Chains A and B, each alone.
Chain A
Amino acid sequence: MRGPAEGRRSPQACDWPACAQKIVGHIEDSLCSTAIPQVTQALSVLTTAFGHCHGLWTQGLWVRLSPLVARLLEKDPVPASHSLVDLLLSVARSAPSSDRGLWETLAQTLSHLSPTQAGPLALGILKLQDCPQALRTQAFGILLQPLACVLEAAAQAPGPPGLLEGAAGDSMTVDTLLSSKSACVGLLCCALAHLGLLQPLPQRPSPWPQAPLLGAAVTILRLCSGSAAPTSDVGGRLCAILVGCGRVQRAALDFLGALSQGTGPQELVTQVFSVLLEYLVSPESSSMVLKKAFQATLRWLLSSPKTPGCCDLDPHTQLFLTELLPVLQKRLCSPCWEVRDSGLEFLTQMTRHWGGQAGFRQALLASEVPELTKQLLRDPESYVRASAVTATGQLSSWGLCASPECPGAQQESLLVELLHILSTDSEGFPRRAVMQVFTEWLRDGHADVAEDAERFVAGVLQAASRDLDWEVRAQGLELALVFLEQLLGQRGSHCPYAVALPETAPPGVLAQALQVLCRVQLFEFAFRALFDCDRPVAQKSCDLLLFLRAKAAPCGSPQEAGDSPNVASVEATLQRWQAGEQGQPLGYLEPGAVVALLRSVDLEGLRDTLAESSDHVEKSPQSLLQDMLAAVGVLGENEADCY
């Protein structure tokens, strides 16, 4: 059904075509039906309609159907509540903000639905751009209620006035929380998830009750760990329901992590760190809960205030760090690989951000964490090895891997060890991680790499070229590109406002660079990759060679090297490679031959071919025809018909 031309008034039902009227009639009947699947279907159809069409006629449709929708709310329980919420939100997103009737329906729905059902609607309302403040307050209250109940139940003494003002736990929410474990867990997880989603949005309610929310998250986590000792009856029952519940723990830790973006009173922040540490220490924390605890801890650590006028960590963080590192140490020894893995990820992130902070460096070097991390390079689990590679790479970048006595020896051995992993590890993940570390080291000018970059690149490319994992090969090209950029200057910036760099390199630099590139056998690697069976590798190689060609534009004339027998044989080899026979090596290439080759190979054409999606053949008319012919079955007889 197409909408009327812009500017015309909303057409009345009588103006609608017969088929539309029939559809609407059917939807009306369905909405009045007692069969829930029918109601659900009607609501879904309307949701789709309101979601996709914003014509004037939709308003007319809503005017006609809204009384029927409102009537659904009178039933107890409200049928198809999920679909109803979807519909109302869909309508609210497309309706003008002046539609009072709609806001009233939304308010009514919020109060009719059970706390669990009302959550998604409340979140949807709070995400709307224009919405009456009263409705927003009501919706926010619904999201806050479960947490208010928990705070109230767990309070040792009556809480300060105004705690989650306007959202004091109502009896319905308390009943839901205490009715069964699944209801309680469901409601709390939804509330936490919804508030977590709301937190970073610009349209989140203001003022945002950061402190009570922090208190609630901490309380929930304590109830779940059994460390809270509520005195009230409701608190005791909540504790019995929640203790050891991994789902709520995960949701609360996620929420706590989201809250790190805001500030809070120091006392509460201390509580946050203490509960996080409790979770990190506790042997009862499952691997998933630990992962979330590590993530939340990282977020809180990174958001902790810096001491004014000093680049070092504040005393609280420093103190926390001294307690945290022994825990991390123990976690890195865990028999559960997921735990070792999340511990390493945490370490990597922490080092990435704090590698330069003296306090962090001191604490880390005093611990056994760097040594343990290195030992995990030989972990039996490939994911852990991969994370250990990334972590040691990061530690090494900040000079945190080496013992102060003989830094050189330690670093070199790490380089050798990573190269060993790259060439021998049976799993792809650690090899990919090594390539990423090497690329980063090269880019950042890691001391040991910078010492003899040429040898380093040659070794890495040699190992990567033989790798069966396409991601390793692709990462090899990434490393090659970094190397190229270091030799020849940056690629053209994608930023339109950046100062344009000269496209070509000065001839002297170029000749020298080409010599180096030939020595590290970068071309062999790149040309082999050009005909790689994995498209992303070929694409990356194509880009790299195009970049190189652009840089090499002024170097020599096409005829000079192009006619040499060397180039002819290389071209022949390349053709064989393209045909899939990649056994023969390219042999040593002269810079001149390389430039000639770059010109002779149709890189643009190749790029265009590669740019086509892998299913372009299937989508082509030729393929369609073949499909049709195949479907018809007897090719010969029906050929004429198809044409």
Chain B
Amino acid sequence: MKLYCLSGHPTLPCNVLKFKSTTIMLDCGLDMTSTLNFLPLPLVQSPRLSNLPGWSLKDGNAFLDKELKECSGHVFVDSVPEFCLPETELIDLSTVDVILISNYHCMMALPYITEHTGFTGTVYATEPSVQIGRLLMEELVNFIERVPKAQSASLWKNKDIQRLLPSPLKDAVEVSTWRRCYTMQEVNSALSKIQLVGYSQKIELFGAVQVTPLSSGYALGSSNWIIQSHYEKVSYVSGSSLLTTHPQPMDQASLKNSDVLILTGLTQIPTANPDSMVGEFCSNLSQTVRNGGNVLVPCYPSGVIYDLLECLYQYIDSAGLSSIPFYFISPVANSSLEFSQIFAEWLCHNKQTKVYLPEPPFPHAELIQTNKLKHYPSIHGDFSNDFRQPCVVFTGHPSLRFGDVVHFMELWGKSSLNTVIFTEPDFSYLEALAPYQPLAMKCIYCPIDTRLNFIQVSKLLKEVQPLHVVCPEQYTQPPPAQSHRIDLMIDCQPPAMSYRRAEVLALPFKRRYEKIEIMPELADSLVPMEIKPGVSLATVSAVLHTKDNKHILQPPPRPAQPTGGKKRKRASDDIPDCKVLKPLLSGSIPVEQFVQTLEKHGFSDIKVEDTAKGHIVLLQEAETLIQIEEDSTHIICDNDEMLRVRLRDLVLKFLQKF
């Protein structure tokens, strides 16, 4: 069993598991942090961003000035943003049989895999993952395509040139593999390869393994996966949460008794408690709005935003913010808000029960009805007519490099009354803000990451007790900035095996058993013999038939009847020879009684020696040794076959035959 690690990002995993002749890809996350190296794509012509000076080398050489621009003391690539793909060279991705998706954030690289690698398999995901994943992809494509960029920079990627660039461009990894965003056509094609699954549904893969999605409690339709054969069980835990938010709670019990547990997608901010962060979010929001400022919340169109809207729903009246408009701007805002209301079976119990009442599960419906929350596909159109300040705007993209958020950063950045509150943990907020500096608006970092923290992981591992834990290397040591925080790492016994990008792990796990079926008629013919109470044995003579990873014992063909005269050899006649088998022996030889028996049969001068594995009986006179061990007995005598046979028969008297 091997694990090919194609992504180094612990929360955007992409691993390939080879298990019992199947090749299973576990998630295909897309690392979008690469976009932080690019200039923002403004929706409205920005004089500031369009007149940036080109960057030149120390010696004044300006050949890169078209590709690289200096902005706020940093150097950015002036090009269409590009993403860092999972490794495509480590393993031939056309051999991947299936891709298992754990949540909508972990499928963003899917079009790159399914459309450009020769992949011919099936993708399994839950319906909300697919639908919301589609929204995220659609939004991404829309954000990038609606601001077409004439040029695509590639000179700077040359290794010799990259060395000369300032940080962080100099340190960017795998730049040659960075790719532009996919198209909607590729998205549609990729999504068409998905087969929908439900929680606890058992899916057979070639008869070899069975895969089952389990609720992971993190997002709508988010799953952990069980990959098991008859005797082996691998659990894939990715992006799970034990907090009570909107999705169905995490199914922990089904993860028990795993041989290997692959653990990814833990919280990215282990020191920040989501509840505290929500409190911080509300306090800062309220404080800004009370002072007449605007609040900008860069976010994804689905996920935490549902919980934030719910919190605000409870909070705005009490905080005296009822008159403040909340705007949600995204090309998929409408779909996202509506989809969330229809996935009742994927919601937590509390919300599920609301489905039976005449009220929607999420309170944002009421916010929309009462005009407190308004949503728009973009800043253009209706929004510009309705726009009223002070207000709160939820919009993407959290990287601040594309989407409507770029416009608001340009618009509000100069006033200290306004605040930008970062709630998504995927991007470093300081790096995200870099091209907007100097900034007068207040910046608040309240990352809300509901995924498991290390305390919860430790409890989970104690509960489910896997034999081996495999995780990204980041989880096996404290964060570099807090090297003393030994509580911020996985602590388990035996220590977790770690992986990093482009590494292949041989999982510490040997297959010992295989299930074989016996045909009924063969089973009928067996004659079990009880060798000790409760244990019966029977010898089986059969033909092992293997097809589609299933093994069946069939009765041996009858010996060919003499057909008289005609001798024609057919394929079916080519049967293995069925030799008459010697009976099998069982039991143990009690040494003292054996010696007595030997003496009775005329052997004298017998000496017994204890060895580590059993005994040696030495017949000194006959110059013969009888070595008795737990699973073997040897008679060693010097060319005296008669003696050997006599001794053998004496040994056999102590054993059972069948």
Chain A residues in the interface with B (C-beta under 8 A): 226, 228-231, 235-237, 239-241, 243-244, 283-285, 329-331, 333-336, 339, 368, 372, 375, 378-381
Contact = CB atoms under 8 A, between A and B. Distances in A.
Contacts of B280: 283
Contact of A335 (B272, B282, B446, B484): B282
8 contacts: A226-B485, A229-B482, A236-B486, A243-B485, A284-B276, A285-B276, A372-B290, A379-B318
A237 B487 CA distance: 8
B320 interface: yes
B287 interface: yes
Contacts of B311: 335
Given A330-B283, A335-B279, A226 B482 contact: yes
A333 B485 contact: no
A29 to B, nearest CB: 45
B283 A334 contact: yes
Contacts of A284: 271-273, 276
B485 A240 contact: yes
B223 interface: no
B282 A368 contact: no
A333 B282 contact: yes
A283 B272 contact: yes
A244 to B, nearest CB: 8
Contacts of B315: 335
Central interface residue in A235, A241, A243, by most chain B CB within 10 Å: A243
Nearest to A336: B279
B505 interface: no
A334 B282 contact: yes
A294 to B, nearest CB: 15
Given A330-B284, A380-B318, A283 B486 contact: no
A283 B290 contact: no
A86 B486 CA distance: 40
Interface in B280-316: 280, 282-284, 286-287, 290-291, 311, 314-315
Contact of B271 (A226, A229, A241, A379): A226
Contacts, number: 73
Contact of A333 (B273, B287, B487): B287
B317 interface: yes
A378 B320 contact: yes
Interface of B: 271-273, 276-280, 282-284, 286-287, 290-291, 311, 314-315, 317-320, 446, 482-487
A241 B271 CA distance: 14
Contacts of B284: 330, 333
Contacts of B487: 239-241, 243
Contact of B486 (A237, A329, A336, A379): A237
Given A283-B277, A330-B284, A379-B318, 14 more contacts: A230-B484, A239-B485, A240-B485, A240-B487, A243-B487, A283-B273, A283-B280, A333-B283, A333-B287, A335-B279, A335-B283, A339-B279, A368-B291, A372-B290
A380 B317 contact: yes
Nearest to B491: A240
A333 B286 contact: yes
Contacts of B486: 236-237, 239-240
B277 A330 contact: no
Nearest to A334: B283
Nearest to A371: B290
Nearest to A225: B271
Contacts of B279: 283, 334-336, 339
Given A239-B487, A240-B487, A335 B291 contact: no
- The 8 A-B residue pairs with the shortest CB-CB distance, nearest first, are A240-B487, A283-B280, A335-B282, A333-B286, A380-B318, A283-B276, A333-B283, A333-B287
Contacts of B290: 333, 368, 372, 375
A241 B276 CA distance: 20
A565 to B, nearest CB: 56
Nearest to B486: A240
A256 B456 CA distance: 31
Contacts of A239: 484-487
Contacts of A229: 482-484
A286 to B, nearest CB: 8
Nearest to B283: A333
A436 B612 CA distance: 91
Contacts of B272: 283-284
A361 to B, nearest CB: 21
Central interface residue in A334, A335, A375, by most chain B CB within 10 Å: A335
Central interface residue in A283, A284, A372, by most chain B CB within 10 Å: A283
Contact of A375 (B283, B314, B320, B484): B320
A95 B276 CA distance: 54
B120 to A, nearest CB: 48
A2 to B, nearest CB: 60
Contacts of B286: 333
B131 to A, nearest CB: 31
A213 to B, nearest CB: 24
A230 B484 CA distance: 7
